[in-house]
Amino acid sequence: MFDEDDGKTWQDRWEEVAHAERVAFEQMTPAQLLAFIRSGRVGLYYGVWSVIARVGTLEQFGLAMFDVLEKSTDFLVRFHAGENLGKLMGLPEKDPLIMDVILHQDAPPQDALRRLRQALAERLGEPEKR
């Protein structure tokens, strides 16, 4: 896949392949992206989340992204999903509402998830379900 003598660092290679993955996600419709993440797939380079934040809406993706935060055991998946859910929610960067959920190596604290779910429900105009 890579020419070891091309002078590129591992980071250059990572960014090159991650960019190609993001381009592929950008070709998908919001419905395809939603089906992709609901199936448990997220890609290898975490780019699906930034694409969703650029092309999607909170109404389209908010609950599915929250489900990832609640259920995923992968710290980096939760981190990127949460960071971009915060963007869809219109939260400032590093808002405690998101940071309290995503900055835990293990499962996020239940009280932090509850606060985020409540804020999400308010933004979506839904009664809190949990």
Rounded distance between C-alpha atoms, residue 22 and residue 46, angstroms:
9
Q: Do the domain assignments include residue 69?
A: yes
The residues, ordered by sequence, that sit 6+ positions from 19 with a Cβ below 8 Å of its Cβ are 47
Q: Do the domain assignments include residue 19?
A: no
Rounded distance between C-alpha atoms, residue 115 and residue 125, angstroms:
15
The per-residue pLDDT for 126 is 78
Q: Which pLDDT tens digit goes with each residue over 78-96? A: 999 999 999 999 999 999 9
Q: Do the domain assignments include residue 115?
A: yes
Q: Do the domain assignments include residue 120?
A: yes
How is residue 109 written in tokens? 């604290």
- Name residues of the chain where pLDDT drops below 50: 130
What total number of domains does the chain contain?
1
Rounded distance between C-alpha atoms, residue 98 and residue 113, angstroms:
9
Q: Which residue has the tokens 């290898």?
A: 44
The domain of 115 spans 29-124
Q: Do the domain assignments include residue 52?
A: yes
